[in-house]
Amino acid sequence: MNRWLRLAALTASACCVAAWASTQGTQEDKHGKADAERMIQADACELPFRDNLVDVVVSRGSFQFWPDLRKGLSEIYRVLKPGGVAYIGRGLPESLPPETARRMRSEQGKDMKYDPAATAQQLREIVPSLGIKDYHMHRPRIDNPEGINYGLWLQFCKPKLDEGGAVKP
Ligand SMILES: C[S@@+](CC[C@H](N)C(=O)[O-])C[C@H]1O[C@@H](n2cnc3c(N)ncnc32)[C@H](O)[C@@H]1O
C-alpha cells in the first residue's frame, strides 16, 4: 500500500500556476501543469482526473466562482475514491476571534457579502440529487450574537465498497 499522500492543487488561474512554478524554480508546461503536476490549471467542473482516484478534496473560497455548482460537486464526487471525503467551503476559520472576523467582514466590499443560510440551502438541494447520501453541513459559530458571517462548509463522503464491490452498509 502506498502510505504517502500525493497532493495536487487545482486553480482556474494561469497566474497561480505560474506563481507556484516560480516558487518551485520550475516552469509550467503547455497544459498548465507545474512541478510534477502538483499545481494544475483546470475548471472544477471538468476535473482532469479519472474516477475514484482521490482520497481527500479540500476546496476553500472557490465554489462561488464555478460556472456550474452542481457540475463541480458531481465532478468532485466522481473523482473521490470509495471511502474518500470532500470538504468544500467558504468563509472564516472557526478559531478566528469575533473582533477580527468583524473587522475583516467590514473591510470586504459588497461583492463578498452572501447569505450562508441561502447557500447552505442551495447545497442541500443539490447534494442529495447527485446521489450523495452521506453529507453534513457545518456553519462555524452560527450562533454568534453579532451575526458575523463565518461561512459554511459542506462535507461529503463516498461510500466504501466491500471486496465484492458492493457498497458497505
Ligand atoms: C478567492 S480565491 C480562494 C483561494 C484560496 N483557496 C483561499 O482559500 O484563499 C478563489 C480561487 O478559486 C479558483 N477558481 C475560480 N473559478 C474556478 C473554477 N471554475 N475551477 C477551479 N477553480 C476556480 C481561482 O483560481 C482562485 O484560486
**Most distant CA pair in the chain: distance in Å?**
54
**CB of 11 sitting under 6 A from ligand 1:** yes
| Residue 27 CB–ligand 1 contact under 6 Å | no
Q: Please answer whether residues 51 and 79 qualify as being in contact, where contact means their C-beta atoms are separated by less than 8 angstroms.
A: yes
Which DSSP helix (H) or strand (E) runs through 147?
A: none
User: Using CA positions, which residue lies closest to atom 1 of ligand 1?
Assistant: 61
CA 128 vs. chain centroid, Å, equals 17
pLDDT of residue 12: 78
With a 6 A CB cut-off, is 13 part of the ligand 1 pocket?
yes
Using the mean position of ligand 1's atoms as its centre, give its distance from the Cα of residue 64 in Å: 9
Residues in the chain: 169
Residue 4 has pLDDT above 70, yes or no: no
Residue 71 pLDDT exceeds 90? yes
17, 65, 74: residue to mutate for ligand 1 pocket, most atoms within 8 A of CB: 65
Question: Would you say the CB of residue 66 lies under 6 angstroms from ligand 1?
Answer: yes
CA dist., res. 116 & res. 154, Å (int) = 11
35 pLDDT band (50/70/90 cuts)?
low
Q: Which three cell numbers stand for residue 20?
A: 507556484
- 64 Cβ inside 6 Å of ligand 1: no
**Residue in this structure with the C-alpha cell 461529503, named with its chain if needed:** 156
Would the CB of 60 count as within 6 Å of ligand 1? Answer: yes
Q: Which of 11, 58, 63 to mutate to test the pocket of ligand 1 (most atoms within 8 A of CB)?
A: 11
Domains and CATH numbers, the chain: 7-42 (no CATH), 44-157 (3.40.50.150)
Model pLDDT, residue 26 = 67
The model's confidence at residue 22, banded by pLDDT at 50, 70 and 90, is: confident
Computed over every residue of the chain, the mean pLDDT equals 88
Mean pLDDT of 48-72: 95
- Which has the higher per-residue pLDDT, 9 or 86? 86
137: three-class secondary structure by DSSP: strand
CB 3 within 8 A of CB 25: no
pLDDT tens digits for range 93-140 = 999 999 999 999 999 887 779 999 999 999 999 999 999 999 999 999
State pTM to two decimals.
0.88
The CB of 24 under 6 Å from ligand 1? The reply is no
**Number of Cβ atoms within 10 Å of the Cβ of 101:** 22
